[in-house]
Structure 1
Amino acid sequence: MTDKSKLHGANFPSARDELPSNQQDKPAAYRLAYTDQDFLLREELRGLRFHLELQKPEMTLKEHGVESTIVIFGSARFPSPEDADAALLLAQDSGDPAKVRAAKRDQRNSHHYEQARRLGELITAHSNNCDPNEQLYVVTGGGPGIMEAANRGASDAGGKSIGLNIVLPHEQDPNPYISPEFCFRFHYFGIRKMHFMLRAKAVVVCPGGFGTFDELFEALTLIQTGKSKRVPVILIGHEFWRQAINLEFLRDEGVISPEDVNMINVVDTAEQAWQHIVDFYQLSPGERIRC
């Protein structure tokens, strides 16, 4: 009987098949190039490392059928309400007025955490019940604060979510609510930001600092210049954003076009943000009810 398996497969052994087990015991010149970490980390190979950081998440997400995401940005510094309440008690016990003021501020801002958590839950609840063509995955920067909240909401809804973590001088650990198979880590900010936008069907931005503004204006610039398809850009929190950004001023000064003012929509709740996405894409009304 003929062995049909001989009709399949490559003629040459794969790189994995020929991977030696004792590479590090050999002189550097003798090591296979793709196993030699010192070689891969040379300055001249920065372009190759760019490519690897682009390809690893890209291949993983494609293999898992992830095609559409909702990106949620926001401050890493906002605590959950329960953590904010605990921190306020400790501050009051310390008797330090500055610590009490800071703790009260954090307690006030903890509602942003709750909005991000609720939005992650709404998106994922929809995706758990919808037609596969409408499936959406929450993606965040993978850290604490708003990022944790959105991943946590997706986990609360029983779904998967994505985290794109970054190596920082002061280590940022991934939050525990990211699906392990979608917990990525980057060295290059540029490649990480590209991954945020590659599959984004909406960008939702909670209050935040320099990193959040960088991510927001990167998205706006890509859309304004036509480098990205137009997708909803939604800011949550009128009180914060009306003081933090003045697009009307930029329009009046002539540094942006009049129509650029309409690139963003400002809302106050997760439900309003989700409704805007539902309306923009005309998502199934039945799935909207399930959320």
Structure 2
Amino acid sequence: MSDSPRIPPKGFPSAEEDARAAAMGPRTPQTLSPSYRLAYMDPDFLQREELRPVRLQLELLKPELVQHEHGIEHTVVIFGSTRIPEAAEARRLAAAAEAAAEANPDDPELVRRAAVARRILQKSRYYDEARRLSALIARECRRKTGCDLVVITGGGPGIMEAANRGAAEEGAKTAGFNIVLPFEQQPNAYVTPELSFQFHYFAIRKMHFLLRARALVVFPGGFGTLDELFETLTLVQTGKVRQVPILLFGREFWERVVDFEGLCDEGTISPGDLDLFEYVETAEEAWARIQDFYRENGGLDPAPRC
């Protein structure tokens, strides 16, 4: 055994150690001045307009490091509307809207709301499909060697809740990328707490969705869902990200709200761009398409680093 002294692991105190030391100092007019705060412990300084580049970098780095520490290399990203609840809730809302419209048949807004509620009820099956798909992914990856796919969503209600729920009910970890909004927004109860993230910047959030994505599944949704879908299609079309399965749930919905064929006929996209995505109707069909893609393309490869 060597008698040489143990070499300390580092020569400088850590940021945490310095922060503790700073907090123990005397309270004087000088030490209480905002200018005296350690820069990394000064929220007023970090929130200054000039610090935007630093905040962008931090928001990119924090989720990257946490996911790496939890061994997340490959994800299936599930997008979809916050406004599509499970069937029981959709039936309750539809019944209430119908009753209001029947009591006030001359009110066009109430009549419209009842019609919308009926259509949401029809789409509530997608809540079940998202839940079943994520449960299927979690279950299959648990028993298959080399399958480490983690379901990730925007962390909110509706379809996102369903997807996180299915994975959580199978005992799998599942991530949620929430975002600060002007109205109340909080992560759903099924996101793994250690993988529940909050973003300020939409752009950084969308980058994190794609960094580890090995498949994207897009359920019916509104502006946010369309934004996420079209950004992904653009990045794949232009070769900025690698080809991955992009699956659109519900052909009837998508062909009604987006005329992809019309874009092709107008010459604003190429016929080959229609092959960037596929329509699916069930969880089993979606999972089969994902497996087929990676069987034909040599399996999952390592996730890129920031």
Aligned position for 1:123: 137
- Aligned-pair identity in percent equals 51
Aligned position for 1:110: 124
How far does residue 87 in structure 1 lie from its aligned partner after superposition? 2.3
The alignment status of 1:214 with 2:227, answered yes or no, reads: yes
Distance in 1, matches of 2:270 and 2:81, equals 28
Contact persistence 1:236–1:270 (CA under 8 A): no
Distance in 2, matches of 1:32 and 1:144, equals 38
The alignment status of 1:173 with 2:173, answered yes or no, reads: no
**Match among 63, 85, 93 for residue 91 of structure 2:** 85
SS of residue matched to 2:124: helix
How far does residue 114 in structure 1 lie from its aligned partner after superposition? 1.0
Distance in 1, matches of 2:7 and 2:140, equals 45
How far does residue 246 in structure 1 lie from its aligned partner after superposition? 2.0
The alignment status of 1:231 with 2:275, answered yes or no, reads: no
Q: Write the deviation string for residues 160-209 of structure 1: whole angstroms up to 9, x where unpaired.
A: 10100000111211100000000000000000000000000011100111
The alignment status of 1:152 with 2:165, answered yes or no, reads: yes
Question: How many residues in Structure 1 have an aligned counterpart in Structure 2?
Answer: 282
Deviates more, 1:13-22 or 1:55-64: 13-22
How far does residue 155 in structure 1 lie from its aligned partner after superposition? 1.1
How far does residue 22 in structure 1 lie from its aligned partner after superposition? 6.2
Aligned position for 1:287: none
Aligned position for 1:74: 80
Contact persistence 1:68–1:200 (CA under 8 A): yes
Deviates more, 1:82-91 or 1:139-148: 82-91
Aligned position for 1:289: none
Aligned position for 1:36: 42
- For 1:236, the aligned partner's letter is F
Q: Superposition pairs for residues 268-279 of structure 1, below 5 Å?
A: 268-279=281-292
Aligned position for 1:138: 151
Aligned position for 1:10: 10
**Match among 253, 256, 277 for residue 243 of structure 1:** 256
SS of residue matched to 2:17: coil
How far does residue 2 in structure 1 lie from its aligned partner after superposition? 6.1
SS of residue matched to 2:155: coil
How far does residue 101 in structure 1 lie from its aligned partner after superposition? 3.3
Structure 2's unaligned 5+ residue stretches are 105-109, 297-306
Aligned position for 1:280: 293
The alignment status of 1:59 with 2:62, answered yes or no, reads: no
Contact persistence 1:144–1:175 (CA under 8 A): yes
CA spacing shift, 1:22–1:225, aligned 2, 3 Å: farther
SS of residue matched to 1:230: coil
Structure 1's unaligned 5+ residue stretches are 284-291
Which of the two has higher C-alpha Rg? 2
Distance in 2, matches of 1:198 and 1:101, equals 39
